[in-house]
Copies of this chain bind each other. A is one copy, B any other.
Amino acid sequence: MPEAVLCESKDHESLDRLLDELRTKADVPFLFTRLYRPQFEAIRPDLAALLDYDEVSGTAYLHGVRSKRPGRVAVVCAGTSDLPVAREAVRTLTFMGIAPTLICDVGVAGLHRLLERIDEIRRHDIVIAVAGMDAALASVLGGITGCPIIAVPTSVGYGVATGGQTALNAMLASCAQGVLVTNIDNGFGAACGAVRMLNVLNRSK
């Protein structure tokens, strides 16, 4: 599992202190998640310079990423608003040495766009389905493919969609069999779930 630091509630002093401490452990790559732009910009410049930062996903790498390992993972997302969460999954997988495929904007309201990409999706071992609102993408993917589906609800939308609880529940209640679900907006957790599967998969080869 990755050495990860959840930055969400950390102020810049804690982050500076932590980075000062971790910078010396140069042989261990660290992953920072939920490191938002204002937090990142408040980090002491010499420390910030050590980080490989991605704003969309709010992630950063310290001391690079882990060495390459096999694993065909597709990260599929319904709309462009789901991109930050999808990219958190992509960045976490990349950190773990896996090269995922990102497939965007294939929500079921435009079913034909999704159906056009199905063959491509099926060429992967694991599918991470990222969607908010009605989260119907996970059910459609679950019905069409037989590989593991990790469903990540997002907090995109307004009204009853606010906060992602509707997407979460729709994914848990999916009419497709065997869809597995993470916490809302937890692209990191989905990637970790995929890594757990790849641990076994790679071991068995």
Number of interface residues of A (CB under 8 A): 83
A141 CB → nearest B CB, Å: 10
The 18 listed contacts between A and B (C-beta, < 8 Å) are A108-B108, A108-B139, A108-B140, A109-B139, A111-B140, A111-B144, A133-B175, A134-B170, A134-B171, A135-B170, A147-B196, A159-B173, A160-B173, A166-B172, A180-B181, A181-B181, A181-B182, A201-B201
One digit per residue, 1 when the CB lies within 8 angstroms of any chain B CB and 0 when it does not, for chain A 95-113 equals 0000000000001111100
Number of copies of this kind of chain in the complex: 8
A64 contacts partner chain B, Cβ-Cβ < 8 Å: no
Residues of A1-35 at the interface with B, using a CB-CB cut-off of 8 Å, are 1-2, 4, 6, 8-10, 14, 34
One digit per residue, 1 when the CB lies within 8 angstroms of any chain B CB and 0 when it does not, for chain A 144-179 equals 101111100101111111111111111111111111
